[in-house]
Structure 1
């Protein structure tokens, strides 16, 4: 299996956004229990080479032209940074005069080789879903040796040296980070990372929503509290 996949072009802040997945299947350094893509068979945090790069790049070129995209959002099945051609893909898009947004779970943003790649982008999106070490290991199931403390530290160090827009997505999960103590910890994390933009989200997949979804009223309370910082 090879090739990039795309979502339909959409408008955001008046601009045309083309969202592209550059991985043939799920390759990630996490294996979150609530991942809508499913279980990871390829748990990695080092770069891999994938077939069909030249044809995929040609297809990306055609997609950019046909959709008249103004921003390309690299949002992949897992961690896009593990594609060993990602730096070249970003350079190609930038060479066409377009802005690039990269979605990463954020853990790899503490490594020099990945920092250099992410620094090419106009926008980088990192994320966090739990705020306790035991929950991080239990429900995000990262590669052995990963810690929540290092995860946060990696994004904080990246943010401090990054000249683009660093966006932080926080997913509120029932029973894990929706209590008042957790919200206070999230506030501290937001301050530590020094962010340009914060997005508060919740699980929308119907499979996980019943058990881990946040009620509308509580979600609004959390939203107001965190976005008022």
Structure 2
């Protein structure tokens, strides 16, 4: 009998809602291999869905947790790209059947593909992200699957947002030397206008292993946040 492999964060309150955060991958499966990823290197760099032993048990465990904790929102935030679990539709079905809202975190690259767009469309909220602003930095620091481009990355999120009826949250992580310079704010504003998210979250690298090389000061984060949220 296969054990459950889902993992959870402690229940927390966000904007008055009880949130249960769940990882639905047994290990890191991702279409990127970011230098600053807190999980480490991608042993499985892919954009094709996979089956994982133990998913049935994991889904039963998720339902038990929903019944026991009674959250308002289930946040699918995984070790890598959650869309790559081939049972994600079943997971969303379960959450919806229990009357709960679903938030999906994705790096956003796959949102332009019809098969993944359909899955994300079923969620009440979708979070996409952006970290760098040049093709060179995208290839060097986010190490995507060969053939991926930054322009397509942004256009995929914009295409998804144009047809999405739910709430799209755009998370921008400011990287020192990549997205914190004088011209970065105007570039980011243009991208925000193209994607037209419902909410913008501006963050910085907080992992101590990467802070020295990639993190900006709180003061600079505040400056950039004010400029971006102003639009």
User: Is TM > 0.5 for Structure 1 vs Structure 2?
Assistant: yes
Structure 1 equivalent of residue 142 of structure 2: 140
Residue 90 of structure 2 is aligned with which of 88, 91, 94? Answer: 88
Within a 5 Å distance, the mapping from 1:16-95 to structure 2 comes to 16-95=18-97
Moved over 3 A (4+): none
SS, match of residue 206 in structure 1: coil
CA distance in 1, matches of 2:121, 2:35: 30
Residue 174 of structure 2 is aligned with which of 172, 183, 194? Answer: 172
1:2 deviates by 5.4
Question: Deviation digits for residues 41-92 of structure 1, max 9, x if unmatched?
Answer: 0000010000111110110011111111110000000000000000110011
Structure 1 equivalent of residue 17 of structure 2: 15
Residue 129 in structure 1 maps to residue 127 in structure 2? no
Question: Deviation digits for residues 132-166 of structure 1, max 9, x if unmatched?
Answer: 00100000000000000000000000000000000
- What stretches of structure 1 of length at least 5 have no aligned partner? none
SS, match of residue 151 in structure 1: helix
CA distance in 2, matches of 1:217, 1:58: 45
Question: Deviation digits for residues 176-223 of structure 1, max 9, x if unmatched?
Answer: 110121111010000000110000010000010112111121111111
CA distance in 2, matches of 1:129, 1:34: 10
1:168 deviates by 0.3
1:23 deviates by 0.1
CA distance in 2, matches of 1:133, 1:44: 20
SS, match of residue 34 in structure 1: coil
SS, match of residue 105 in structure 1: coil
| Aligned length, in residue pairs | 229
CA distance in 1, matches of 2:184, 2:16: 35
Structure 2 equivalent of residue 157 of structure 1: 159
Tell me if structure 1 keeps the 8 A contact 2:124–2:167.
yes
Residue 198 of structure 2 is aligned with which of 196, 219, 226? Answer: 196
Structure 2 equivalent of residue 117 of structure 1: 119
CA distance in 1, matches of 2:11, 2:29: 24
CA distance in 1, matches of 2:177, 2:5: 38
CA distance in 1, matches of 2:218, 2:54: 44
Question: Deviation digits for residues 78-127 of structure 1, max 9, x if unmatched?
Answer: 00000000011001101110000000000000100000000000000000
CA distance in 1, matches of 2:203, 2:121: 25
Tell me if structure 2 keeps the 8 A contact 1:2–1:50.
no
- What stretches of structure 2 of length at least 5 have no aligned partner? none
